[in-house]
Amino acid sequence: MSTIEHEIQQQHFSSHKQKAILNIIFTANWLRSQQLQLFKSYGISPEQFNVLRILRGQKGKAIGVNGIQERMLDKNSNASRLVDKLIEKQFVERKSCANDRRQVEVFITNKGLSLLAELDEQIMAADDKYIQLDAAESELLNTLLDKLRT
């Protein structure tokens, strides 16, 4: 019994669409909670982890704070400060850009890559375990979410 009705103790919704909105928000919070413990044990937040993955995805190619922001899951986040936190922990480096001195170029360090290699694997293993969807259902879910935002 993990219906949204049960989870938020609400029996009536004005429409399936309104219910879906609450369900998406609730499920996103639930997902975050599931992952938090693991993140915490590595001294990093889900948002910082997201930034690290973006940087790894660059494969050494230069990216600025703006580029990170555009690729983030939350477009209203504040990449500048997240990068600060990651620099403190030596997971990323900041280099000033020669061509355009307004820009900075952000790179993931070897220490950052090591962390990701380990944490990423554990997060994915955990996800696979507690997310009760098969590939076809996941694909359908992606289709619906993409359509929702069209």
Residue 30 interacts with a copy of itself (CB under 8 A)? yes
Residue 18 interacts with a copy of itself (CB under 8 A)? yes
From the list a copy of itself, DNA, none, pick the one residue 80 interacts with, judged by a Cβ distance below 5 to 8 Å according to partner type: DNA
Q: How far is the CB of 36 from DNA (least distance, A)?
A: 4
Comparison of 21 and 140: residue with beta carbon closer to DNA: 21
Residue 58 interacts with DNA (CB under 7 A)? no
Decide the pairing of beta strands 104-108 and 92-96.
antiparallel
Site for DNA in 107-136 (CB under 7 A): none
Q: Looking at the DSSP assignment, which residues form a beta bridge with residue 95? A: 105
Left if phi > 0, otherwise alpha if psi is -120 to 50, otherwise beta: which for 60?
A: left
Which residues bind to DNA, rule: CB under 7 A?
Answer: 29, 32-33, 36-37, 40, 45, 47-48, 64-67, 74, 76-78, 80-85, 94, 100-104
The residues binding a copy of itself (CB under 8 A) are 2-4, 7-10, 14-33, 57, 70-76, 124, 127-128, 131-133, 135-142, 144-150
